[in-house]
Structure 1
Amino acid sequence: MLSLLFRRSLLTALAGLVCTLSPCAADNQAQFGAETPFFEDLPTVLSASRLPQVLNEAPGAVTILDRHFIQATGYRDIARLLRLVPGMQIGQERGHSQWVTYHGLGSDYPTEIQVLVDGRSVYAPSAFGGVDWSSLPLTVDEIDRIEVVRGTNSNAYGANAFLGVVNIITRHSHQGRGVTVQTNLGSHGISDLRASWTGGSDDTGMRLTASRLQDNGFSRLNDSRVSQTVSLRSDHRVNATDELTVRAGYSRLERGMGYPDSIYNNNGERTANAEVSTLHLTWRRTFSHDEEWLISFYRNHEASIDRWTASSPSFPVVPLNRDRSSNRTNIELQHRFALTSQARMVWGLEGRRDDSKGSFLFFGSAPPEVNMYRAFSNFDWHLTPAWQLNFGGLLEKNGDVATQFIPRAFLNWQASPSDTFRMGYARAWQQRNMFDIYGDVRVFASGTDPRTGTPVAWPYVPNPNLRTPSVDTLEVGYLGRFHALDATLDLRIFNEKITNFVIRRNIPQSIAPLVLSALPSSQFVNLDSPVTLRGLEYQLRTKPRAGTEILFNHTLIDRHTDEPEVAKRTAPYTASLTWLQDFGTGWKSTASILRMGSLAGGYGYVPTCDYTSRAYTSLDLRIARTLELGGRRTEIALSGINLGERHQEIADRSQQCLPAYLNKPVNPASSMVWLSLGIEI
């Protein structure tokens, strides 16, 4: 009875919403007399518990961006796709700099979510941490799907999955054989070229992709970029049970940084370079659908060169840099199997070593190498056909932090074949960032001996006593399928309580004596009071008529904290509406409207500057035509992003505090339009 009443009220609301978005003629109802494949089959997800699970059996909310949807957007950047996931808060400080979080709260380099490519962490352990989205050795075209676990998932992937997981899954090398070439030309100097070859034998597949992205970034900003990427994936079937997968990638990024009028040129204009390389080996032995062994090894290397010169009336030459490099080496063993016909389990062991260097960022010496060890297990038990229990635990020893136990428990109730209710609890810890603990930046005038001289500025003071943040999450969810509208609705209600949250505070000058008091010293410290995020988010996906697909996301967040500055780092609401239309005869279009509430991204390099970007609405459009040219499948498309009002997404808060920018955005996003031509050979 509860399920029936719930569905009737939801169905009434959904019908009104869908009829507002798309025509709902009475004669269209006949086509829903029989179930459609979209309605019958929910997708299988891999990222929620490391067990393959139908979406309504996963422990928590999971959003899937499939290949069809990714291609329909026409986006040039992976991070932009995540704007269309409920709860995600994305912004650009400049054309090539993406600020990506789930539920906000992030620092200048957010570290609250784990980002994986085929299960390999792309989190950069060096210096500031986070993910450099513009330098990933991966192209949008290689992606098969993106799974976003919306909520704490450290039980499966460790401390960096503090508030969620983004798992980017690439296409198998036996898919889509042949050669594809695509070029983009457009405003703001957009000039892209990508080529991909896929081939091999029946037992061995191989895909080689090379791309070059170039643009001038936003108007009136020094943020041009030239990105070059080469990637390889090969899948070799050894025998009936064993498969070996090799992934390798390299990217080189040259990008404009800084502003021409920052105080003392402390963030002056310059060109920075970044290089990222990776090697990932996976051996998989599959005995049956219910049992599999997996061994994975990868090594990531990243390096950045970012140098410029500051000056002041007293000190005409002050060299600055953010040069840094890091290596991450990781090995993992995983085994999943069926205990009974109603119970499955996965367990595994993982070991990792991170080392980082950055002589200017870590005065005197490099931070210590960090060794991490973890053991994990997840258990999936169908108590009855309607009730399902997911629970598990992870033990993690990370550097000098005490061993942590990370639990999670979820109960799913399939009230009917079309209605699933879920509720769960999870606890997680956040891996401490190397720069937060050991960051020690002392600025000296040219010719001054750092061993004996007084620093001109000391913006970052280390804090080896920084405590590890933790989060306790309670959530209730609903996943429903509505036959009459060919629709799915995913609802999540959450309460996330974070203790020992890390913020940046000014410290007395007596602790860090310096010459220029206009640039105060600061240190990362823990908040004494908790930060709590409460709210709801939902996603409605529907196909109200043939050729039409509509995706609507909405998130509301109530922020509770004693620190107003922290509350501003989470937007109180976000919403997006995406309309995909197939007109037939090869014509297709995609339109996305995004509404983002006011947001202060990060904390800025001068912590006394407090600025919040205003709420804005943005529009992205794409129209494409697919046709045959000379027997080759060809697609021509016209795309545009940021087509609405001129708006600012993430402010450079230090720059924004200058008198010249008090009444106008320092870095508003620019509209960009480009023409694409893609050919399959």
Structure 2
Amino acid sequence: MSLFRPPAGVLLALAGLVSGAAVHASPEESPFFEDMPTVLSASRLPEPLHEAPGAVTVLDRDFIRATGYRDVARLLRLVPGMQVGQERGHAQWVTYHGLGSDYPTEIQVLIDGRSVFAPSSFGGVNWSGLPLTVEEIERIEVVRGTNSNAYGANAFLGVVNIITRHSRQDPGGHVEANAGTHRIGDLAAAWAGGDERIGVRLSAAALNDDGFGSLFDGRHTGLVSLRSDLRASTRDELTLRAGFADQRRDLGYPDSVFGNNAQRTSTTHNGTLHLIWRHTDGPDEEWMASLYRNHESGVDRWNASAPPAYPSVPLDRNVSSMRTNAEFQHRFALGPSTRLVWGLEGRRDETDADTLFAGLRPPGFELYRAFSNLAWHATPAWQINLGALLEKSPDTAAQFIPRAFVNWQASATDTFRAGYARAWEQRNLFDRYGDVRAYDPVSRALLAWPYMPNPAARVPKVDTLELGYLGRFRALDATVDVRLFNERITDFVIREVIDPPMPVALPLRTSRFVNLPTPVVLRGVETQWRLRPARDTELLINHTLIDRRADDATVTKRTAPYVASLTWLQQYGGGWSSTASLLRMGPLAGGYGFVPGCDYAARAYTTVDLRLARRFTRGGRQIEVALNGINLGAPHQEIADRSEQCLPAHLGTPVNPASPMGWLSLAVAL
């Protein structure tokens, strides 16, 4: 641990630099951070980074391109506080401050404002099956901390907002191919064109690999994505986004108990249609209306067995779901120093998954929200952000979600922030109504009852206190962002393993989701440094320490006590460049597991990702060739499958170690 705890001298030196800057500069001397990005996700108001009510990390297009990563989830490893791991090649476990279930739902994930959470059964995000290519991303804004007052219950601990490129940006074609170890074989193409009135961007990709070397976890994804922007008038713009992803994934293990997680190949289909209208009455006023519809379906079936009495027992997790969401928003200025945004949102989710709900169709889920955020410059140096959201669903009481932040621009290069926020987390359908039973297909005898419903469980709540500092050190061309947090979660949902309420044929227990009777408290500090020690060198340094407090030891293990990363981007001239990322992750038990008595956490590990690239021009076309490698260095395990890990044959040996992967990429601008 000593390696990751900042020495007291470093903290004192930082305090001295900050205090010195505050003494020798004033807010009026020069604009604060002329090159700081404008962010949209913290309050729904466009505002410079130093005025945002909370900590926001921005991954821009250049940085995303420089990493060479094939998926969005791996990018999030380079954000302070994010805890990301892979149980297998295509299964990403993405959380902010850990604590997530097997299918984490504690952070809201958006694509151009559209939630990509699966409303069906388990919830969560299929990160490897998003109807989106990495190439079409303009930037990713990560709000590090509770933001439910802007985006509702799923923003319980944070927001990941993926913003795509406008269709009129960089017209022309683009083709990219990857080939490498583990049968990596990707092909992607994009085209953008149009005129001043209408633009179209069309992207398509086929992504293939065999996953980790020791597992049955290949994946084959095909996707098509469309964005079109129509300038209907000087004040009105319509945006249409449509996407479809079709995926096949290999799952399971050959020796799971009774074949409860046997090897098989599942298929998923994800389609979305999203329409956005914006009307602008000036630089300080905008009306926006959004309507989207998502459809997801999946086929995941296999045969279990408990010989000799029950040689073949059909099981499945087949599911189909539909989400319809409408939203209205109005942003305007109340005066020269005050801006306000307010809006309304309504949603309906429908799910059909017979086996997961004892043959019954769960009721449709409706959700309604009203939200508002106000930003007020009380003085040139002091800004106050106030926000509130009221959320109501049929089976829960109305939830009031407040937030209050104050930002003090102490000097031209230093801003301090302090705030409080509350959030509630909507429980997914499976938490409330999940009822899974396994029957003998011949005798109809009840063999096992893995899950039983508990609709009476309460909705979790978090109260967050935050102190922060955002500063610029011009001598080093460096930016530092520090966040100190205290997150107190009450009614945290855990999985309780109990005896079945009625006799079952196999010696297996059942489980249900219940509330932890005592609070879970996460306290800690996050630090992010961006600096340019030389003109062609950029460093990104992230460090997080978390003190986890809960009466249930299995809950504390679901958060790693520390995470640190260092990313080095270097330009060499002649079109050559390199990117190197070093990640250190503390011990982490992803999810809650199911096997009684199996308390397992993956050990701390260090991993390295490398990329070497060269850009050049041939025949008037820009070309980039790159050699990429991930999971380099010592072998490691990131997220364990506890049911498999606790089998006697695997005790003491990671059952699903991450595999080093390397590939060569070729990108051509047409």
- Match in the other structure for 2:130: 136
Alpha-carbon distance in 2 for matches of 1:52, 1:202: 24
Alpha-carbon distance in 1 for matches of 2:276, 2:406: 32
Alpha-carbon distance in 2 for matches of 1:291, 1:242: 12
CA displacement at 1:447 relative to structure 2: 2.1
TM-score relative to the length of structure 2:
0.95
- Match in the other structure for 1:9: 13
1:305 aligns with 2:307: no
Alpha-carbon distance in 2 for matches of 1:360, 1:592: 43
Task: Report SS of the residue matched to 2:70.
Answer: coil
- Match in the other structure for 2:452: 461
What one-letter code is carried by the residue in structure 2 that aligns with 1:184?
A: N
1:65 aligns with 2:55: no
- Match in the other structure for 1:446: 441
Task: Report SS of the residue matched to 2:153.
Answer: coil
Alpha-carbon distance in 2 for matches of 1:361, 1:447: 20
Q: Once the two structures are superposed, what CA deviation does each residue of 1:98-125 show, in whole Å capped at 9, x if it has no partner?
A: 0000000000000000000000000111
Q: How does 1:579-658 map to 2 (within 5 A)?
A: 579-658=568-647
Aligned residues of 2:235 and 2:280 also touching (Cα < 8 A)? yes
Task: Report SS of the residue matched to 1:72.
Answer: helix
Q: Once the two structures are superposed, what CA deviation does each residue of 1:583-629 show, in whole Å capped at 9, x if it has no partner?
A: 11100100000000000001224344221000000000001000112
2:497 to 480, 500, 506: 506
CA displacement at 1:37 relative to structure 2: 12
RMSD: 1.7
Task: Report SS of the residue matched to 1:233.
Answer: strand
Alpha-carbon distance in 1 for matches of 2:89, 2:391: 37
- Match in the other structure for 1:145: 139
Q: Once the two structures are superposed, what CA deviation does each residue of 1:486-506 show, in whole Å capped at 9, x if it has no partner?
A: 010000000000000000011
Task: Report SS of the residue matched to 1:366.
Answer: coil
- Match in the other structure for 1:414: 409
CA displacement at 1:399 relative to structure 2: 2.9
Q: How does 1:118-137 map to 2 (within 5 A)?
A: 118-137=112-131
Instruction: Specify whether residues 7 and 502 from structure 1 end up closer, same or farther in structure 2 by C-alpha distance, changes over 3 A only.
Output: closer
Aligned residues of 2:33 and 2:413 also touching (Cα < 8 A)? no
Instruction: Specify whether residues 155 and 6 from structure 1 end up closer, same or farther in structure 2 by C-alpha distance, changes over 3 A only.
Output: farther
Q: Once the two structures are superposed, what CA deviation does each residue of 1:432-472 show, in whole Å capped at 9, x if it has no partner?
A: 111011000000112234xxxx3100000100111100000
1:497 to 473, 485, 488: 488
Q: Once the two structures are superposed, what CA deviation does each residue of 1:202-247 show, in whole Å capped at 9, x if it has no partner?
A: 2100000110000000012000000000000000101100000000
TM-score relative to the length of structure 1:
0.94
Alpha-carbon distance in 1 for matches of 2:87, 2:604: 15
- Fraction of identical pairs, as percent: 65
Alpha-carbon distance in 2 for matches of 1:364, 1:322: 12
Alpha-carbon distance in 1 for matches of 2:32, 2:617: 28
CA displacement at 1:636 relative to structure 2: 0.2
Aligned residues of 1:461 and 1:512 also touching (Cα < 8 A)? no
Q: How does 1:88-107 map to 2 (within 5 A)?
A: 88-107=82-101
2:464 to 447, 457, 473: 473
- Match in the other structure for 2:326: 331
Alpha-carbon distance in 2 for matches of 1:234, 1:72: 27
Alpha-carbon distance in 1 for matches of 2:406, 2:426: 28
Alpha-carbon distance in 1 for matches of 2:345, 2:461: 21
Aligned residues of 2:226 and 2:243 also touching (Cα < 8 A)? yes
1:542 aligns with 2:531: yes
Alpha-carbon distance in 2 for matches of 1:39, 1:274: 45
1:86 aligns with 2:86: no
Q: Once the two structures are superposed, what CA deviation does each residue of 1:261-284 show, in whole Å capped at 9, x if it has no partner?
A: 001111000000000000000000
- For structure 1, the residue ranges without an aligned partner over 5 or more in a row are 15-34
1:227 aligns with 2:217: no
Aligned residues of 1:458 and 1:512 also touching (Cα < 8 A)? no
Alpha-carbon distance in 2 for matches of 1:349, 1:370: 17
Task: Report SS of the residue matched to 2:354.
Answer: coil
Alpha-carbon distance in 1 for matches of 2:443, 2:344: 49
- For structure 2, the residue ranges without an aligned partner over 5 or more in a row are 1-8, 19-28
What one-letter code is carried by the residue in structure 1 that aligns with 2:414?
A: D
1:436 aligns with 2:431: yes
CA displacement at 1:366 relative to structure 2: 1.3
Q: How does 1:310-389 map to 2 (within 5 A)?
A: 310-313=304-307, 314-389=309-384
Q: How does 1:149-164 map to 2 (within 5 A)?
A: 149-164=143-158
Q: Once the two structures are superposed, what CA deviation does each residue of 1:345-378 show, in whole Å capped at 9, x if it has no partner?
A: 0000000001111100000311110111110000
What one-letter code is carried by the residue in structure 2 that aligns with 1:70?
A: I
Alpha-carbon distance in 2 for matches of 1:324, 1:584: 52
Aligned residues of 1:39 and 1:487 also touching (Cα < 8 A)? no
Task: Report SS of the residue matched to 1:339.
Answer: strand
Instruction: Specify whether residues 507 and 124 from structure 1 end up closer, same or farther in structure 2 by C-alpha distance, changes over 3 A only.
Output: same
Which has the larger displacement, 304-313 or 604-613?
Answer: 604-613
Task: Report SS of the residue matched to 1:642.
Answer: strand
CA displacement at 1:513 relative to structure 2: 2.3
CA displacement at 1:422 relative to structure 2: 0.4
- Match in the other structure for 1:213: 207
1:483 to 461, 474, 477: 474
Alpha-carbon distance in 2 for matches of 1:612, 1:36: 50
What one-letter code is carried by the residue in structure 2 that aligns with 1:316?
A: P
What one-letter code is carried by the residue in structure 2 that aligns with 1:485?
A: L
Instruction: Specify whether residues 237 and 322 from structure 1 end up closer, same or farther in structure 2 by C-alpha distance, changes over 3 A only.
Output: same
Task: Report SS of the residue matched to 2:50.
Answer: helix
- Match in the other structure for 1:49: 43
Alpha-carbon distance in 2 for matches of 1:302, 1:512: 34
Which has the larger displacement, 165-174 or 399-408?
Answer: 399-408
Aligned residues: 651
CA displacement at 1:325 relative to structure 2: 1.4
